[in-house]
Chains A and B, each alone.
Chain A
Amino acid sequence: MNRLIIAACLALAATLCLSAVSEAHKVNIFAYVDGDRIVTDSGYSRTKRVYDGEVEVFDAATGTLLLSGKTDTEGKFAFVIPEAAREKKMDLRLLLKAGQGHQAEWTVQYDEFADAPRPVSDMVAEENPAVSEAAPAAAPAAGAAPAVSAGGLTAAQVEAIVRREVDPIKHMLAEMYDSGPSMTDIFGGIGWIFGLFGVAAYMKSRRNP
């Protein structure tokens, strides 16, 4: 009997160590507005990203499909804010289909992108990310140039700087959203299971004394 108890404790300890390094199983999608685009970040966990998952963008009110695309190896998919969404003040519902029954969704409210800048030019959607990527990099160079000595920055430059500063915070939020179950959750769950079966055993034992 003692051997069994020791063995059971060891097995439980080993399982718990394993679960501490394990990763979350559910799939998550998180999205934020970045300039004229909306960036989506999808993952099973912090390290395991959704590769080649399908993201569909719907009008949250009517359910009309606006556009769709695939996530890259880092679980990211970015798209230019659709003109129709601005005009009709839509909330956007993003649906991630990661395959094999894995699915998650995220809503981007109209308020979040209402004031977002419009695409710089009428370029095709694929080329736009490159443009907005280049903008923050160009900002410091422009800041050191006459614009600062003249005592002011253009609105676009300020936006670029703010975006660069806020970017890490957005990534941090995305990571927090992806965090898996904590130790408290796991122990709580085990407690619930023993509690429920304990109640069942108690009820049964009262019925047949």
Chain B
Amino acid sequence: MHISEGVLSWPVLAGGAALTVAGTAIGLRKIDYDRIMSVAILSATFFIASLIHVPIGPSSAHLILGGLLGVVLGWAAFPSILVALALQAVLFQYGGLTVLGVNCFNMAAPAVLCYYLFRPMLLRGAGSRFAGAFACGFLAMLLSATLTAAALALSGDEFVGAAQALFVAHLPIMAIEGVITGFAYSFLSKVKPEVLGC
């Protein structure tokens, strides 16, 4: 879900950049520097995840793992995703530098939202853990698709069409993300719960 250079209008680009700067500032303040390596590892995971491409329909879709980043990192998802996206833009020409703000906000904002929505449920107990993490991965991607469609709509594309296309193309990926997030979270909570801060 990388929006390419030259698709969006200037007000949307500026708005996205401003929101990302704000989010990153909050994220940097909230990072626990004793856990900085988990931020780095998840940033690297996000960087790699987008290379795992699932061919669906006429478009191109790939994993994001936003939900996993969100539920583990909280606000630190912003700097983590920003670094990974900047490197993807520079090294692979995915997205671009002017759209970095919008792309980062589209991935990181749902991640942070999932942190607040699912964190209490995930900390409660083992029973609901997999289901909660699945919902988290699924919802993060759904919201990212919605935000991307909104960004496209604000620049002239018609929202309903773009949203439908994105939703249909990403529906199977939302399920895959949910499963991966579910397993990753359950695994981490068993093997290394301190990463999750429980």
Kindly identify, within residues 62 to 103 of chain B, every residue whose CB is under 8 Å from any CB belonging to chain A: 62, 83-84, 87-88, 91-95
Q: How far is the CB of B76 from chain A (nearest CB, A)?
A: 11
Contact with A25, one of B47, B62, B152 (Cβ below 8 angstroms): B62
> Could you tell me the distance between the alpha carbons of A167 and B36 in the complex, rounded to whole angstroms?
53
B39 CB contacts on chain A under 8 angstroms: 197
A44 at the interface (CB under 8 A from B): yes
A100 touches B53 (CB 8 A): no
Shortest CB-to-CB span from B151 to chain A, Å, is 8
Q: Bound state CA distance, A196 and B87, in angstroms?
A: 11
Inter-subunit contact A100/B148 (CB<8 Å): yes
| Chain B, residue nearest A98 (CB) | B59
Task: Tell me the chain A residues, 189-208 only, with Cβ under 8 Å from chain B.
Answer: 189-190, 192-194, 196-198, 200-201, 204-205
The reply on A48 being an interface residue by CB < 8 A is yes
Given contacts A100-B162, A189-B87, A190-B48, contact A26 B59 (CB under 8 A): no
B6, A103: Cβ atoms under 8 Å? yes
How many B residues have CB within 8 A of the partner chain?
46
Contact check, A48 vs B60: say whether CB atoms are below 8 A apart.
Answer: yes
**Distance (whole angstroms) from the CB of A15 to the closest CB of chain B:** 5
User: Given the complex, which residues of A lie within 8 Å of B43, measured CB to CB?
Assistant: 193, 197
With a cutoff of 8 Å between Cβ atoms, the chain B residues found around residue A193 in the complex are 40, 43-44, 47, 83-84, 87
Q: Are A99 and B165 in contact (CB under 8 A)?
A: yes
Contact across chains for A188 and B52 when beta carbons are under 8 A apart: no
Kindly report which residue of chain A lies nearest to residue B93, judged by CB atoms: A26
Pick from B44, B87, B92: contact of A26, CB below 8 A: B92
Q: Which B residues lie within 8 Å of A18 (CB)?
A: 51-52
A72 within 8 A of B: no
- Smallest CB-CB separation from B152: which chain A residue? A101
A109 at the interface (CB under 8 A from B): no
Task: Find chain A residues with CB under 8 A from B94 CB.
Answer: 25-26
Residues of B within 8 A of A196 (CB): 40, 83
In the bound complex, how far is the Cα of B40 from the Cα of A190, in angstroms? Answer: 9
Q: Is A68 an interface residue (CB 8 A)?
A: no
Asked if residues B36 and A200 are in contact (CB atoms below 8 Å), the reply is yes
Q: Which residues of the partner chain B approach A48 to less than 8 Å between Cβ atoms?
A: 55, 60
B residues in contact with A15, CB < 8 Å: 45, 48, 52
B contacts, CB < 8 Å to A:
1-8, 33, 36-37, 39-40, 43-45, 47-48, 50-53, 55, 58-60, 62, 83-84, 87-88, 91-95, 148, 151-152, 162, 165-166, 169, 187, 191-192
The 8 A-B residue pairs with the shortest CB-CB distance, nearest first, are A197-B40, A101-B3, A103-B4, A44-B60, A19-B51, A23-B53, A181-B92, A204-B33
